[in-house]
Structure 1
């Protein structure tokens, strides 16, 4: 039974694929599948042939076939939001996302809120026509903005009528982690769409473990290789989430 983001009371665990070549991606996928994640994200900005649309589509189909019931997120992270340099413009990246929606059975595509409004609306239309859901994302690898700013980003996702709101920020101190958790709890009680939030790096690692308590519907773990600072190995994260779930259910 596949698990969709926001359908479960417990946070789902997502593991990234970050291979540069097809054989690397499929090798990582085999390693990751053995660890039984709930969701898999293919970070296509790492893929050396991202400008070869046919090869991207073919590999996406191979990943989906191997993953079976496990939902996939197709992500092209821009360099401005912590991604790899790629030979595609923002508009071309949006078009590749649209092509994924039209030609594969991948459940989610990621769309950064920093994209132009008309590009976001275009992708939303294509995704809706093809039954694909959109993770609307904002990343800040330098700092943690104010609680008000983070709340606005989460609200933007709902205003665009996208399916999931995601925010990842970098803390400079422990207080920044509290800011992220606090705005997550407040947004969970106000917004109708599922949220994914995380604080990155060494201070933020705790948010990957307890974020679900505050309303984050998904957390990222290392399956084969990390895609962001502070990710915890999937085996460790599963143990922590099980302990938290048991503790919170006990009387």
Structure 2
């Protein structure tokens, strides 16, 4: 498995890296959150731009991105527009979605960009190609807020993301019961041990699935999401508590 290096962070080796989302609406909210996150255990910051009030004005978006970079320094930034169909705050048509992600990659201000894997193969490849030309890594993602697919389907989706050229395949699913969490963990282990040649990110959401956010080093998930302030998805722990548990598990392995 080949780790993915972004700035001084190597995703895919050692402890799972902690990514903290920023879900501010205004520029001021976003920068205030970044200043707080900068003092925490965060390895990566995800800017959830679907929350941002001026996201459809790219000039303002670029200005905020520059200010965010100034605050965060060498902390890697993941640029994510989560669409409403996958649990995000806003709807966007495919062409605009692709263009937004391509423009973000071209600024040189971000390190990773998230593209929803089932936007369409051509759309995904367009973002992957532009991002790679700009030295930006790509997280291909899929979110199911209703259920947990069968193990074979989870593995199939992750393998498809890998085939599309994503640097880091990611899937998040909703458990209906404890067995669903085991399904996600079994799929993670199978993907990591048999098919993945790069880091993967997996999680089972809500309180039932919180264990999946903690045991990535055991089963093969290379990054986990923790909250500082407002969480961006159900089941996110505070980043400080998350770091404590990850360290405890790591030291026991």
Between 1:193-202 and 1:27-36, the stretch displaced more is 27-36
CA distance in 2, matches of 1:184, 1:65: 36
1:105 counterpart SS class: coil
The CA deviation string for residues 115-157 of structure 1, in whole angstroms up to 9 with x for no partner, is 1211111111111110011000000011101111110110011
After TM superposition, where is structure 1 displaced by more than 2 Å over at least 4 residues in a row? Answer: none
The match for 1:18 is 23
Structure 1 unaligned regions, length at least 5? none
Q: Is the 8 A contact 1:31 1:224 kept in 2?
A: no
Residue 110 of structure 2 is aligned to residue 70 of structure 1: no
TM-score normalised by length of structure 1: 0.95
CA distance in 2, matches of 1:79, 1:242: 35
Residue among 228, 232, 244 paired with 1:227: 232
TM-score normalised by length of structure 2: 0.94
2:65 counterpart SS class: helix
Residue 40 of structure 2 is aligned to residue 35 of structure 1: yes
Structure 2 unaligned regions, length at least 5? 1-6
Residue among 90, 102, 105 paired with 1:85: 90
CA distance in 2, matches of 1:90, 1:5: 29
Q: RMSD in angstroms over aligned alpha carbons?
A: 1.1
2:64 counterpart SS class: helix
CA distance in 1, matches of 2:26, 2:127: 27
1:4 counterpart SS class: strand
The match for 1:136 is 140
The match for 2:8 is 2
- The alpha-carbon deviation at position 171 of structure 1 amounts to 0.2
CA distance in 2, matches of 1:76, 1:5: 21
Aligned positions, number: 246
Q: Is the 8 A contact 1:18 1:44 kept in 2?
A: yes
Q: Is the 8 A contact 2:108 2:134 kept in 1?
A: no
